[in-house]
Amino acid sequence: MQHKLIVFDWDGTLMDSEARIVACMQGAIADLDMPERSEDEIRNIIGLGLRESVAMLFRGLSETDYLALVDRYRYHFLIGDQTPSLMFDGAVPLLMKLLDKGHFLAVATGKGRVGLDKVLDETNLKSVFHSTKCADETFSKPHPQMLLDIMHELGVDAKETLMIGDTEYDMQMANTAGTLAMAVSYGVHSKQRLLDCQPLFCVDSMNELAECLLG
């Protein structure tokens, strides 16, 4: 597969951060004595921006309560929670090989800028990516703006761009932006849910992803 630009989702695609996101959101909810939400309910919103995630978990929430919940979530994610978040095995070598082959690499994530910069610093991967876009800088997935902004910044057409992600939000964003899409089933959304979005491929492991991208 030859693509000038490869755009990765972060959580559930490059980093195994599901457990930490769930723990941080449940911790934030408990801090404010709000109604509990299950692991599955929280897993379902991974990939969306915080505002969209909270709106899905708590419909009709006031702005005051929304801001309080976001504040507690950010506290747990940035400071309070120590649940490990590691890169998927093989992710870093894959990124380095793609970089060596001359691809533009980018990230389009539901994370906020502070959260993404934190994990990029922790993994020493900031210099690997030519562009990164976050949900608090533009529209959240599945809106295509993050992808459109990345392509515009790097001067790459949609037909030369591949979006890789683990949620239907990634696939829908790619479809609307007119790029190709590849799904990974080892993240948060089920394989059938991803296949329903008609990606170019759906792979079940990082090894399969590497085989498709590197040949």
CB-CB contact of 139 with 39 (8 Å)? no
Has 136 been annotated as catalytic? no
Q: Which residue has the tokens 């998927």?
A: 88
What is the C-alpha to C-alpha distance for residues 197 and 206, in angstroms, rounded to an integer?
Answer: 20
What is the C-alpha to C-alpha distance for residues 39 and 51, in angstroms, rounded to an integer?
Answer: 18
What is the C-alpha to C-alpha distance for residues 163 and 147, in angstroms, rounded to an integer?
Answer: 8
Has 40 been annotated as catalytic? no
- Tell me which of 9, 16, 166, 170 is the catalytic residue: 9
What six digits make up the tokens of 117?
A: 């910069």
What is the C-alpha to C-alpha distance for residues 132 and 24, in angstroms, rounded to an integer?
Answer: 23
Catalytic positions are 9, 11
